[in-house]
Structure 1
């Protein structure tokens, strides 16, 4: 599984990159606003700054909701850096935009996926990634991980090249569940990734090793 970090915070991105397991970054307007990034030019520069930190794909989301606006923004974002993947919502206009952008060899991430039908349309339109929102489905009493499994099985059956990017990951267990469900990518907070390191037996074992070493060398 690939690990993307879902943030616009450069310090967190650098920390994840230094960990040695980071494959990319996803962002959105809300995450940009959270970091105080305002204005079109500042946002574009921030995307470039992110690309200069990581080696993999960086999803940059369009603001427009109409087809023409998505196309214009998508082409502008893609021109910023070769690592940029244009993120568009799974709407009628968004699916049309995915089709157009993919025909121009611009990679896309179709986001706000909440059903296998939406994922199917995005894949047929040529999306590079589809982003089903696990946590948000859980919030309304639906099994978000089950949707990941449904989409992964469908893509495997029909040999779609589109990758399943599990989004709205809330915690470490979500990551492990999405691995079992067949997701290609998980995008999540840094805390969820580093949470994979935690196990009481690891801590206990390290304490014992150090205690034994100190006994022999005291």
Structure 2
């Protein structure tokens, strides 16, 4: 009997939702994804202490002005991504600062800088995905970057409007969130638990995958933000699934057969006209869950970035 993790890997590419090098080595994911929260946690991981101290010292000398802290955070993000890229055969997602989520031009500039820093570290751009929030501005920035050969991962995705705009912009990968959708519905409805097939997050991501298949979009759909293994197994068959070490461990210790939860026999549909900015903003804001969770996600990533900045100030 195979483990659930072994069975899952037959249907989907597994991505590690962590910056912990030991966990990445243990579970052997194809890709890895990071964000400010995970970088913050790295300050407590012994494997990163020397790297962090070295990078902070070097970066502080490179930039002494007002943007010093931001530069150090960029260098830390790339340094961590560089170490991860030595382990995973695929790509590392590196996030553009949350505070730039509504600034297209600044997001583009930051993405270009991160790619340049990776190149200086000896990591080619085809090993990196630039991670942007799925705001209108973030999606427009991604479309421009994709045309330059800088591939993107659009995160904090909670609505059909966001998914549609990403598909039409030709982004490489989107990360629709499962667990955070579930969190919102549990709080709003008072429902304690859902079966996997009735889980609002699972249903949302299945719908996104179906929309892409029906219209022949090549964008990779990667389920993210899982709360339990039932959600993961229900989405087996999705292109990619990014999973935390705790859930990877649980699945690696649990035997069981895995079956695909993603429909493949879909009928093709005409794409139609592209979504306009007005349509996007109206449709997204008309979904209370999506509206709440996008704003909350940006705020929380920004808070973690500020906590990270404070740790750096202490080191300086």
TM-score (norm 1): 0.84
SS of residue paired to 1:168: coil
**Contact kept? 2:77, 2:94, Cα under 8 Å:** no
Partners of 1:129 and 1:160 lie apart in 2 by: 11
Partners of 2:254 and 2:91 lie apart in 1 by: 30
Deviation at 1:132, TM superposition (A): 0.7
SS of residue paired to 1:109: strand
Q: After TM superposition, list the pairs within 5 Å mapping 1:1-150 onto structure 2.
A: 1-17=12-28, 22-36=29-43, 39-40=72-73, 41-63=75-97, 64-65=100-101, 66-79=103-116, 80=118, 81-82=123-124, 83-141=127-185, 143-150=200-207
Residue in 1 aligned with 2:242? 187
| RMSD, aligned α-carbons | 1.9
Output one character per residue of 1:93-125: Cα deviation in whole Å (capped at 9) or x when no partner.
Answer: 101111111111111011111012211101111
Deviation at 1:199, TM superposition (A): 4.1
Deviation at 1:178, TM superposition (A): 1.1
Partners of 2:181 and 2:89 lie apart in 1 by: 31
Partners of 1:199 and 1:105 lie apart in 2 by: 40
SS of residue paired to 1:164: strand
**Contact kept? 1:86, 1:107, Cα under 8 Å:** yes
**Contact kept? 2:78, 2:94, Cα under 8 Å:** no
Partners of 2:14 and 2:180 lie apart in 1 by: 19
Of structures 1 and 2, the one scoring higher in RCO (CA 8 A, sep 6+) is 2
Partners of 1:109 and 1:24 lie apart in 2 by: 12
Going by fraction, where is strand more abundant, 1 or 2?
1
TM-score (norm 2): 0.59
Runs of 4+ with deviation above 4 angstroms = none
Count of residue pairs the alignment pairs up: 196
SS of residue paired to 1:130: strand
Q: Which runs of 5+ in 2 are unaligned?
A: 1-11, 44-51, 57-71, 186-198, 257-316
Indicate how the Cα distance of structure 1 residues 45 and 199 shifts in structure 2: closer, same or farther if over 3 A, else same: closer
